[in-house]
Amino acid sequence: MVSSFFLLLAVQLVGEVAREVLGVPIPGPVLGMFGLALFLIARQTLTSKTVSASLSHTSETLIGQMGLMFVPAGVGLVAQGPLLAREWLPLVAGVVGSTVIGVVVTGAVMHWTLPAVEEDADASRS
């Protein structure tokens, strides 16, 4: 479990370095986990190897404790209560607007790709 935890921390470090080098406005841990996901998908595709039991157990343990990781954000919200009270309208507009945009884009992508997926499914049945 320790080696898997070290691997996850190393992936986070690689993501931070990539963020600094590329200058992208994406958090380093997100880049690192995206890179790890791509690596694991490529490895499974090319070699048929799956995720190790140790890495899987470590990941499940961290996901089980994820609620604790939201405590600092909650404390920050409480500490910034007066600011949130003043700026509630732009915040609500941003959340609602981005949600609507996300739903519309997802629907459009599904509408655009579903015929191809159904065509592939029909071809594989034949």
Q: What is the pLDDT of residues 41-59, one digit of tens each?
A: 898 888 888 888 888 898 8
The pLDDT-based confidence of 85 (bands split at 50, 70, 90) is very high
Interval 57-80 mean pLDDT: 89
Interval 91-113 mean pLDDT: 96
The pLDDT-based confidence of 87 (bands split at 50, 70, 90) is very high
Report yes or no: 77 and 84 within 8 Å, Cβ to Cβ. Answer: yes
pLDDT at 62 over 90: no
- Spatial distance between the Cα atoms of 65 and 32, rounded to a whole number of angstroms: 20
Tokens matching residue 93 = 């507009």
At residue 117, the pLDDT reads 79
Ranges of each domain in the chain: 1-69, 71-126
- Spatial distance between the Cα atoms of 67 and 69, rounded to a whole number of angstroms: 5
At residue 120, the pLDDT reads 76
Nearest by Cα to 36 from 6, 8, 60: 8
Which string of DSSP letters, residue by residue, matches 42-108? HHHHHH-----HHHHHHHHHHHHTHHHHTHHHHHHHHHTHHHHHHTHHHHHHHHHHHHHHHHHHHHH
Nearest by Cα to 40 from 20, 56, 18, 63: 56
At residue 69, the pLDDT reads 83
Mean residue pLDDT across the chain: 90
